[in-house]
Chain A
Amino acid sequence: MNNMSSIIIFPLFGFFILSIFQRKISNFFSALIGIGSIFFSLGIIFHIFFCYFNNRSGFDFFSQHIEIWNNIRSLNFKFDLLMDKFSIFMLLMIGLVGFLIHVFSYWYMKSEEEFSTYFSYMNLFIASMFLFILSDNLLLMYCAWELVGLCSYLLIGFYHRKKMSYKSAMKAFLMTKIGDIFFCLSIFILYSHFKTTNLNDLKIFLKNSLLAKDWQFHFSIFCLLVAAVSKSAQIPLQTWLTDAMVGPTPVSALIHASTMITAGVYLIVRTNFLFSMSPTILLLIGIIGILTVLFSCFAALFQNNIKKILAYSTMSQIGYMFIAISVKCWNAAIMHLIIHSFFKSLLFLSSASIISFFNGEENILKMGGARKKQPFIYFCFLVGGASLSSLPLITSGFYTKGQILCFLLENKNWMLLFSSLIGVLLTSIYTFRMIFLIFHVKREKQKVSYLNNSFFHTFPLFVLLIFSTVFIMFFPPFSSIFFDFYNKNYIFTKRNFLEFISSMLSIIGVLIPYDLYVNKKNIFYKLSKKNIYLNKYSFNNTNFGFDFFYDFIFVKPYFFIVEKISIDPFKKLFSFFSFFIIFFHNIFLCLVKKTLSWHILFFVSGASFFCLSFIFLCYLTH
C-alpha cells in the first residue's frame, strides 16, 4: 500500500517529459510515453487492488502520508492519500478507461499536428484525476478539482483554430467555475467549524457533534452539492456539456463521458457522511437527478448531432446516479458510474470511428447504412447502446440500473421510481433512434472514407465491448464489484417483477424507433421519412432556453454593469491632468521638431535674452 503515490507520479512524469520535449520527439515516442505512463500506473492499481482484497485485516481504508504541505502555526495541511472501497474502484475504472482511450487516441489523432501536446494534456488530466480520487482532505481535493477543470478547458479548446471551440472551452470553464467557488465556500465553512479539512477527522467529529440544526453546516453541504452539480452537468448548470463536444472525440469519451463528469458524483460519495446528515439536501439531489433524467432524455430525442445525443445520455445516466445518492445507496451509484463509464466510452469511441468513416459528418440524419460496411463498429455501437438502454440479461447496464431501481423500490420512493422508469423507456427510444438512423436507414450520395482498422483502433473497442456486456462478471476485479455490492438479501419476487417491468420498457423503447425508421410496411415510415428533416427545432440548439436564460440573467447584466462602471467621474479628473500634460507636450514638440536653423535661432535668442536681462539687472542695481 506504500506505492499509492506512484500511481499519480507516473502520468505526471509523462506530462513533464512530453511538455518539455514538445515536437522534438516523434509521434511514436510521445505516444509511447503517454500510453506507457498510464500503463505503469494501471499495473500498480491492479497490484494495490489485489492487496486490498486479499489482506482484509479489519481496515477498510488505507492512508499514506507523503508530505506536510503547509505548516503555519495552527494551519496544518498534509499531503496525504486515502484509499477506501469507492476510490479503489474509481482508480481501476479511470486507469483502465484512460489507458484504452490513450491507445485509441494514437489511432485517432495520428495526423494531428500537436500530437504530443495532446498526450501531455491527457497525462496531466489522468494524474490530476488520480490525485482527486486519492486525496484525503478537501483542500487537496479542491486543487485536483481545479486541475481537472483546467485540463478539460485545454482539451475542449484543442482545435483552437476553430472559433467555436474556443468559445465552448470558455463556457465550460466558467460554468464549472461556479461550482469551484461553491466548493471553496464549503471548505471555508467546514474549516471554521471543525478546524480541519481531513475527511477522516471530519467523519470522527461529526459522530460526536450535534450540528444537525446549524444552518451554516447545511449551507456548506449545499455548496458541495452545487460544486458536484456543476461538474457533473446536472440540471441548472448543464449547458456546458453539449458545447464541450467540439473537442476531439476521445477527449469527450475520457473527460466528458466517463471520468471528469463523474467527479461530482464521486465527491458526494466521498463525503457521504456529510450528506447523510441532511435529508433536505438528499431530497434536493433526488429532484435534481430526476429533472436531469427527464430533461436530457427529451432533449436527446430531438437532437441530431451524434455526439450531443451521447452527451445528453451521459447527463441522464449521471442523473440516475444522483437519484441513487438521494436514497443513500452509494454502492449502487458507484457501480452504475463504473459500468456507465465503460459503455459510454465504448459508444464515444465507436462514434469517433463512425464520424471519421463519414468524413467528419456529425449529423445522424446525413449518415446511414453503415451496418454492412462497418460491421464491427456496428456491433460495438449496438452493444454500447443496448447497455445504455439497459436491455435485459446480456448487458451490464441492466444490472446496475436495476440495482438503483431496486433501492428506490425498497425505500418506497414512488415518484423517483416512476420517473426513472419513464427515463428507461425514453433512453432506449433515443438510443435506438440514433442506431437505426446511422446504421439501418439507407441514404444516397454519401462520401465515406476508408478506415484503417489497426490494432490501436480495434483493441480498445474490443476490451470495452466485453466490459459492456455481462461478461464483465468473469473478470476478477470487476466480478467483485458485482459480488461485493450486488449479493445482498432483497425481496426477490418484488425485484424480479421490477426488473421485468424495466426490461419490458426498454424493449418497447427499441420497438418504437424500429417501427418509425426501419419497418417499411408501417404508415409512419413514410410520414417519418418526410418528417425527419422537420426535427430541427430551434430550442434544441439553445438547450431549451437555458442558454438564453443564463445570457439574460448573468451575461447581459454583467456587461451592462461593466458599461455603467466604465463611465467614471474620477476618470474625467484624471483625464484632465493627462490632457494638460499632452497639451504642453505638443507645444514643446513644436519647438523641437524643426530644422537646424530654427534650433540656432532659438539658441541665439535665448542666449541674447539672458545677456540682455543680465545687463538690465546690472543697470537696475546701479
Chain B
Amino acid sequence: MIPIQHGLLLSMLLFFSGLFLILTRRNFLFILIGLEIMNNACSLILVFASNYVHQLDGQILYLLIITLSAIESGIGLALLIQMHRYYKTLNIDVLSEICE
C-alpha cells in the first residue's frame, strides 16, 4: 500500500518538471510534451485519490482523460506538422504573435 503523500509528491514532481519544460524550451514539440506530462501528472492524482478513498470513480475518470489526451496530442501533433510545413520552423519566439 503506497501512502498518498508519496503519490502526491510524485505527481507534483511530474507537474513541475512539465512546467519547467514549457518555460525553458523554445521548440513547440517539447512544449507539447511538457503539456502532456502536466496533464498526466494531474490525472495521476485522480488514481491515487480513488485508491485512497476506495472507490473506482477516479480510475474510470483516468481512463476517459487518457483517451482525451491521446486525441488531443494527436491533433496537436498534426497541427505541429502543418505548422512546420507552413512556417519552416517550430521556434516559439519566431512564431509568437503576442509580442511584436
Contact A604–B98 (Cβ < 8 Å): no
Query: B93 contacts which chain A residues (CB < 8 A)?
Result: 595-596
A596 to chain B, nearest CB (A): 5
Interface residues of B in 1-54 (CB under 8 A from A): 19, 22-24, 26
A589 to chain B, nearest CB (A): 11
Interface of B is mostly: helix
A314–B96 CA distance with the chains assembled, in angstroms: 74
Identify which of A592, A593, A600 contacts B23 (C-beta below 8 A).
A600
Q: B78 an interface residue at 8 Å Cβ cutoff?
A: no
How many whole Å from B20's CB to the nearest CB in chain A? 11
- Chain B: which residue is nearest A595 at the CB level? B93
Whether B98 contacts A599 by the Cβ 8 Å rule is yes
Contact across chains for A595 and B96 when beta carbons are under 8 A apart: yes
Residue of A nearest to B95 (CB): A596
Cross-interface CB contact of B22 among A592, A593, A595, A597, cutoff 8 Å: A597
Please report which residues of chain B, range 64-100, place their CB below 8 angstroms from some CB of chain A when the two chains form the complex: 92-93, 96, 98-100
Interface positions of A from 440 to 467, Cβ below 8 Å from B = none
CA gap between A601 and B92 in the complex, in Å: 15
CA distance A592 to B26 in the complex (A): 18
Q: Are B99 and A597 in contact (CB under 8 A)?
A: no
Kindly state the separation between the CA atoms of A604 and B99 in the bound complex, as whole angstroms.
Answer: 19
A594 in contact (CB, < 8 A): yes
Task: Say how far A607's CB is from chain B's closest CB, in angstroms.
Answer: 11
Question: Which residues on B sit within 8 Å (CB–CB) of A600?
Answer: 22-23
Interchain CA distance A601-B22 in the complex, whole Å: 9
Interface size class of chain B, counting residues whose CB lies under 8 Å from the partner chain: 10 to 19
**Is the Cβ of B92 less than 8 Å from the Cβ of A596?**
yes
Contact code string A262-282 (vs B, CB < 8 Å = 1, else 0): 000000000000000000000
Majority secondary structure, A binding face: helix
The contact of B24 among A592, A593, A597, A604, by CB within 8 Å, is A597
- Given A595-B93, A596-B93, A601 contacting B99 (CB threshold 8 A): no
Which chain A residue shows the least CB distance to B19? Answer: A604
Q: Chain A: how many interface residues by the 8 Å CB criterion?
A: 10
> Contact between B98 and A597 (Cβ–Cβ < 8 Å)?
no
Write out the residue numbers on chain A whose beta carbons fall within 8 Å of the beta carbon of B23: 597, 600-601
Considering the chains assembled together, what is the distance between the CA atoms of A594 and B23 in angstroms? 13
B100 to chain A, nearest CB (A): 8
- Taking CB as reference atom, which chain B residue is nearest A599? B98
Complex interface: chain A residues within 8 A of B19 (CB): 604
Contacts of B22 in A (CB 8 A): 597, 600
Contacts of A604 in B (CB 8 A): 19
Alpha-carbon distance between A592 and B19 when the two chains are bound, in angstroms? 20
Tell me which residues across on chain A come within 8 A of B26, comparing CB atoms: 597
Q: Determine whether the beta carbon of B99 is less than 8 Å from that of A593.
A: yes
Chain A, 581-622, CB within 8 A of any chain B CB: 592-597, 599-601, 604
Q: A600-B22, A601-B23 are in contact. Are A592 and B99 (CB under 8 A)?
A: yes
Neighbouring B residues of A592 by C-beta, 8 Å: 99
Give the CA-CA distance A154 to B37 in the complex, in Å. 77
Q: How far is the CA of A276 from the CA of B37 in the complex (A)?
A: 105
Q: B97's closest neighbor in chain A, by CB? A: A596
- Interchain CA distance A597-B24 in the complex, whole Å: 7
Q: Is there contact, CB below 8 Å, between A596 and B24?
A: no
Q: Is the CB of A595 within 8 A of B24?
A: no
B47 to chain A, nearest CB (A): 22
A591 CA to B22 CA, complexed, in Å: 19
What is the distance, in angstroms, from B91's C-beta to the closest C-beta of chain A? 10
CB distance from A406 to the nearest CB of B (A): 85
Instruction: Report B-chain residues with C-beta under 8 Å of the C-beta of A594.
Output: 99
Residue-wise interface mask of A (100-144) relative to B, using a CB-CB cutoff of 8 A (1 in contact, 0 not) = 000000000000000000000000000000000000000000000
CB A251 to nearest CB in B, in angstroms, measures: 54
List, sorted by A's number, 22 A–B pairs whose CB atoms are closer than 8 Å: A592-B99, A593-B99, A593-B100, A594-B99, A595-B92, A595-B93, A595-B96, A595-B99, A596-B92, A596-B93, A596-B96, A596-B98, A597-B22, A597-B23, A597-B24, A597-B26, A597-B92, A599-B98, A600-B22, A600-B23, A601-B23, A604-B19
The residues of A with any CB-CB pair to B shorter than 8 Å are: 592-597, 599-601, 604
What 6 pairs across the A-B complex have the smallest Cβ distances? A596-B96, A597-B23, A595-B93, A596-B92, A593-B99, A601-B23
- B residues in contact (CB < 8 Å) with A: 19, 22-24, 26, 92-93, 96, 98-100
A594-B99, A597-B23 are known contacts; what are 15 more A-B pairs with Cβ within 8 Å?
A592-B99, A593-B99, A595-B96, A595-B99, A596-B93, A596-B96, A596-B98, A597-B22, A597-B24, A597-B26, A597-B92, A600-B22, A600-B23, A601-B23, A604-B19
